[in-house]
Amino acid sequence: MRYGHATMTDRSTGAGTDVKAAIRDAAQWALVALLLSIPILAWRTTEGQSALALAPRWSVVGYAVAAVFVLRLTVLLAGGRVAAVGARVAGVSGRGISAAARFIGPAALGLAVAMPFTPFADRYTMDLAILVLTYVMLGWGLNIVVGLAGLLDLGYVAFYAVGAYAYALLAQTFGLSFWICLPLAGILAAFWGILLGFPVLRLRGDYLAIVTLAFGEIIRIVLLNWSSLTGGPNGISGIPRPSFFGLVFDANCGPGSFCGFFGVEHSSLHRIIWLYYIILALALLTAWVTVRVRRLPVGRAWEALREDEIACRALGLNVTMVKLSAFAMGAMFGGFAGSFFATRQGFISPESFTFMESATILAMVVMGGMGSQVGVAVAALVMVGGIELFRDLELYRMLVFGLVMVAMMIWRPRGFIGTRTPTIVRTKGAVVAADNVREGQG
């Protein structure tokens, strides 16, 4: 009994010590949060009568410090149980998402095709849908390089910019239509992708990421300073818009116009719907080509390179061509998206192709699950459409976005649909007869 009593006493003493240590650690985190919150959250600039004034917001600082203290204390005291429950929930949800992925695609495609004819399809909704599809296409293009080939690319926005400026210059200089400039922009972007691939053939991991980041910045700086060709910081305006099979969207409804040919009243929504179907077709083309190429030898070579480059070389694969093909194909789809961005906006400038664009696209690939087409599409919808839903929260919407990203890294570190299963898997082993493995037989 004394021994049992001593054991219970030791356990209670240990538990009390753990609680005290947890409170001490949480207090230290709260102190750090207080020091960081004072210069960021304590004051807010407001417009005064003659100049800007500072309005104190100490209540926001108090809420932030209290939230850090409570969250840290919760993690220390119940972190193990919460992580175990989260892992079980993530496992169940991951299997459910993977099983439902085959049904999500056709349903989403049907909704996307019928969306312009739904009652809620106003100008704002269509513009948002076009923006989401543009990022879906960019995410699928980067998914070839990062998700399939395993090459970390932080300068993907460079190919986006090459496609946009290629279309703008070709359309304005030579008077070419959108459908002629579109493949040319993709070819030029693929060429620049090959140029990027050669210097980084021997680089991996962080070094590869740094070089691709530098490449993206080099393209942006060239666009910013080559004023005679790109317009410099002023950009290029008056970019031609695509026509509907030769019919222009003219408000006068004259001969050769869309409304004049069909005998309908002019509406600015007609052009927006046509742009929506163009980017939908381009996104579907990207998905179809990616799925088909994954089953070809080059696609299987990408996946082998992602898993183990040394084993790739040992199997006799030409790693140089494998890497260059991944960079070229990913860059080509980035160029397609860039040309569409230019014709949709009618104006482009270097400020539209900063590093934050590359980081956003890469975040979509990682959050959706590297190598997953459906996952990247879901991540683009969440990141672009979700941020728009929280627009009324002003600056706090980015805080919500950051919390969602942290929660994803904790409970689903491999993304919504984090699968790395090869495209072609041998499910049944071949049966080899004993006579074929005798000495002298192989």
How far is C-alpha 360 from the chain's CA centre? 5
132 and 249 in a single domain? The answer is: yes
75 and 129 in a single domain? The answer is: no
Nearest 5°: the CA angle 21, 24, 28 is: 140
State the pLDDT at residue 264. 78
Counting other chains too, the contacts that 246-254 makes at CB distance below 8 Å and 24 or more residues apart are 249/274
308 and 378 in a single domain? The answer is: yes
The pLDDT-based confidence of 98 (bands split at 50, 70, 90) is low
> Which neighbouring-strand residues pair with 257?
248
Least confident of 329-333, 343-347, 391-395: 391-395
State the pLDDT at residue 243. 83
**Strands 236-237, 347-348: parallel, antiparallel or unpaired by DSSP?**
antiparallel
Domain that holds residue 30: 2-45+56-91
State the pLDDT at residue 55. 83
Three-state DSSP at 185 gives helix
How far apart (Å, rounded) are the C-alpha atoms in residues 280 and 113? Answer: 8
64 and 131 in a single domain? The answer is: no
State the pLDDT at residue 161. 94
81 and 174 in a single domain? The answer is: no
158 and 282 in a single domain? The answer is: yes
State the pLDDT at residue 1. 45
pTM of whole model > 0.85?
no
For the record, the structure tokens of 328 come out as: 């070229």
Task: Convert the pLDDT of each residue in 20-36 to its tens digit.
Answer: 888 888 899 889 988 88
441 or 326, higher pLDDT: 326
Residue 235 lies in a domain: yes
Q: Which range, 151-160, 301-310, 380-389, has the best average confidence (pLDDT)?
A: 151-160
State the pLDDT at residue 8. 47
> Is the per-residue pLDDT at 96 higher than 70?
no
239 and 340 in a single domain? The answer is: yes
Residue 430 lies in a domain: no
> Is the per-residue pLDDT at 47 higher than 90?
no
The pLDDT-based confidence of 403 (bands split at 50, 70, 90) is confident
Residue 247 lies in a domain: yes
- Asked if residues 122 and 179 have their Cβ atoms less than 8 Å apart, the reply is no
72 and 135 in a single domain? The answer is: no
State the pLDDT at residue 3. 47
How far apart (Å, rounded) are the C-alpha atoms in residues 312 and 300? Answer: 11
Q: Which range, 185-189, 229-233, 248-252, 312-316, has the best average confidence (pLDDT)?
A: 185-189
State the pLDDT at residue 138. 93
State the pLDDT at residue 332. 94
196 and 317 in a single domain? The answer is: yes
Residue 112 lies in a domain: no
State the pLDDT at residue 85. 52
Residue 313 lies in a domain: yes
351 or 267, higher pLDDT: 351
Nearest 5°: the CA angle 310, 313, 315 is: 110
Looking at the structure of the chain, the number of domains it has is 2
Residue 369 lies in a domain: yes
130 and 87 in a single domain? The answer is: no
> Which neighbouring-strand residues pair with 47?
52
Residue 383 lies in a domain: yes
63 and 168 in a single domain? The answer is: no
Q: What is the largest CA-CA distance in the chain?
A: 103
65 and 149 in a single domain? The answer is: no
- In this structure, the dihedral spanned by the alpha carbons of residues 72, 76, 78 and 80, taken in order and rounded to 10 degrees, is 120
Residue 8 lies in a domain: yes
State the pLDDT at residue 91. 52
